Each structure stands twice: as structure tokens, then as C-alpha cells.
Structure 1
């Protein structure tokens, strides 16, 4: 049991390191890598990849400049949340898996891919790393470790497609655990994919941040200082 916990910690730590590198790549470059992958997979899978990338570029890729009152510049931008678990109920379509995976990746997260079909998970990992995805940003994890991953305080969230009972179980796990507040991104309709197919689905996988740059000499706006000098 102790060895299993240690292995899980190493796995998540490595995924966090890969996430920071992947997140720094930028939306345009991440989308370009995923869109190259879309050309190599079956048409229906490729369409889902392109759809998620297009939505992310439209809704979360742009930055917004917010000038500060004392001369600094504040840039509002979107960033990945961290390490995301991707899992589905057995028998769920590949479009659902790929939709979840693409949305998480294009937004800058690393992914712990936890599927019953481990062979397909390994195939996805290999294909994406061959076309430029950073090594370690996708980690294939055996389905038996799902509970341990969900309960771990460092995972940022889980995207799950499947039945209501499992979704409720995952929600309770996340609510009871310690550490980081985690996101549950659930899809209950495995046929029409109303959640995964929504244009703003990518918003579930990002967090907003502000970058501040002080461009004044004394930490204040010279014009404002002059106005206040009498």
C-alpha cells in the first residue's frame, strides 16, 4: 500500500512538471500540434479535435489588457488548471474520450488518461508525442488507480463521461478530500454529448490569471504624482 502511494505521488509530481512546460507553449502552438494529430485520425475523431481547438482559440486564447491607475499594465489571460484526470464509463465512444482529452490539452493541462481500454490510451499518447506533444504531458494510468487519483490533493480535476451514479460518487470524493479545490467536468449523455459538444466546454479546463508589469520609475504614475503635488 505504501509503495502504491509513493508511486502515485511520483506519477502526479512528474505530470505537474510536464504541465508547467506544456502550459508555457501557448494556445496557438498547442492547438497546432493537436490539429496535426486531427489529420492522422479517423474523420469523426479529427472533427472533434478541430472543434475543441477552434473553440479554445475563440473563447480563451486571447489576452485582455487592463491598464492600472498608477501606470502598471495588467494583462488578463487564461491558463491550464493543472493535472486533469480523463476517464469514461466502459463502452463510451472515442469521440467523447478525444473531446475531453483535447479540451484539457489545448487549455494547457497535463492529463492522466485512465481508461478501461489501456491499449487505446497508449496509442493516443504515442501518436501525440510523435507529432510534438511534450513527453509526460499525457500519462496512461491503470483504471484500478482511479480512486487514488481522484482522492489525491494535487489533481486539479476530473473529466468523466458516463452514468449518473458514478458521477455522483466522483463528486462526493472531490468534496470530501483535502487540498486543492478540484473541478468535476461531467458528461451524462454519451450519445449526443451535449456538454462536451458545447462551444464553451473549454472554459471548464482553465483558470484566469493576471500578469502585472510596473513600467514606472518610482512605482507610481508620474502624471498622477505631479497632479497631487500642489
Structure 2
């Protein structure tokens, strides 16, 4: 039975907080377990994304603040991303998109053409067997894609394929209601200059600050947490 768009959104949103709060180390361990089933090239791509996310995304930075106050700057996942590939998009590119989105704390919907070498539902099964909770990765059909891209709760779209499709997705995201969504596009599916960038994972995160007033009653009380993105 095909789920309604709102049911898909509810399922992914419910899974997001738990996945995002697992932390980088646990998410990396799950993804590395998944990568053991992949080809050498795809396994290397998972390692690449996890390694660079550890460098650019995982650290929590301590910022100066008034006496009695601690300020921390850290990165968190934006929410739910749609991952899209064309028929001729390499598996390495798809794996790069998936691993970057997941390791940074996002949940994902995967939409693949019927003739793609792997089925989206098989990717879901692989990742859930590797440790992802239900709802962290969801397979969607092509006839659900347009409505999901337009849904205001979707944080962004990662696409690898044609420039014309990139432009169409950009127009669709710009026309929707609600918060602006991120479009992360790779149009050179041979050399992968975007997916292969060491800072690719930064496209999937939002920065947040956490303020802790250590002089509050009871001590160590978190008073304020702000982010540049909205939680779902």
C-alpha cells in the first residue's frame, strides 16, 4: 500500500530527533557497517563522507561569554532530505549523497528510477539491518516526488543528474510555501566535484548555539538554544 504524503512526512519527522541526537560516532558506526555490503568504490565514498564530517561537522566549539555562562556552537541535521538520482547516475554518487545526509543527522527519502541498478526499498532494508531505526530512510515512488518536494516540512533535496532537472527542482522549491529549502545538486556525475568536496557535508547541517548558565538555581541549567534552522 502506498503511504500518503502526510504519513510519509510524519514517519520521517518522528524518526529525525532520535537519529539526530544519536551523535556523530554512532551514526558513523552504522554507516560503516552498511558500507561493508557495498563495492570497494562505494565503501570508500562512505569513509570519505564520514571522515570529513568528523572534521567539519562533528566538533562542538566553545565560545567566550559573560562570567557564569558557557556558549557552545555545534552543527545539527536540518531535518528530512529527499535524495534523487537519474538512471545513469553512478552508485558511488548516490552513496555519497546518502552517507553525507545521514551522517550529519538528517533523515532521508530516496527516489530512484525503476531501471536503477538498485531499488530504493533494498537500500532501506540494508540500512535498517545495519542499525538505522524505522523512518530514518524511506523509499518513495516517482508519483509521490512532486508533492513531497513541495511539502514545507522537507528541509532540502539532494540530486545527482541533469542540469535541466536541477533547474526544474530549483523552481519547484522556490515556489513552495514555508521555509526556504536547500537544493544540493551534482551535475557532473563522472568527476563528482560537489559530492567529492571535503566540505560537502556542511550543506546538510545548520549551526546552533547552546547557552548554559552555570550560576542558575541548581547549576548547569540550559537556558537557551538557538539555531539557524527550524526543527521539524
TM-score (normalised: structure 2): 0.88
What SS class does the counterpart of residue 95 from structure 1 fall into? helix
Partners of 1:126 and 1:217 in 2: CA distance: 47
2:29 equivalent to 1:32? yes
The structure with more radius of gyration? 1
Q: How does 1:28-107 map to 2 (within 5 A)?
A: 28-107=25-104
User: 2-side partners of 1:165 and 1:54: how far apart?
Assistant: 32
Is contact 1:155–1:180 with CA below 8 Å preserved after alignment? no
In structure 2, the partner of 1:194 is 193
Deviation, structure 1 residue 35: 1.0
Correspondence for 2:165: 166
Partner SS, residue 194 of structure 1? coil
Give 1:217 shift: 4.0
Which residue matches 2:130?
131
- Cα separation, 2, equivalents of 1:181 and 1:142: 24
In 1, Cα distance between equivalents of 2:14 and 2:210: 21
Match of 1:142 in 2: 141
Query: Which residue is equivalent to 1:204?
Result: 203
Alignment gaps of 5+ in structure 2: 218-232
Where is the strand percentage greater, Structure 1 or Structure 2? 2
Q: How far does the alpha carbon of each residue in 1:167-192 deviate from its partner, in whole angstroms, 9 at most, with x for none?
A: 00111111111012100000000111
Q: Which residue of 1 aligns with 2:20?
A: 23
Measure how far apart 1:40 and its partner are: 2.1
The superposition leaves residues 122-179 of structure 1 with CA deviations (integer Å, 9 ceiling, x where unpaired) of 1111111112111110000001211111111110000001111110011111111101
Distance 1:146 1:173 in 2: 11
Q: Distance in 1 between matches of 2:62 and 2:12?
A: 31
Alignment of 1:12 onto 2:9: yes
Shift of the alpha carbon at 1:70? 4.0
Distance apart, 1:216 and its partner CA: 1.2
Q: Describe the SS at the equivalent of 1:34.
A: helix
Name stretches of at least 5 consecutive residues in structure 1 with no aligned partner.
Answer: 219-230
* Separation (CA, whole Å) in 2 of partners of 1:20 and 1:180: 19
The two structures, once aligned, show a CA RMSD in angstroms of 1.5
- The structure with the greater share of residues assigned to helix is 1
Moved over 4 A (4+): none
The CA deviation at 1:41 is 1.4
CA shift for structure 1 position 67 = 3.3
Matches of 2:112 and 2:36 in 1, distance apart? 23
SS at match of 1:12: helix
1:185, 1:41 → 2: CA distance?
24
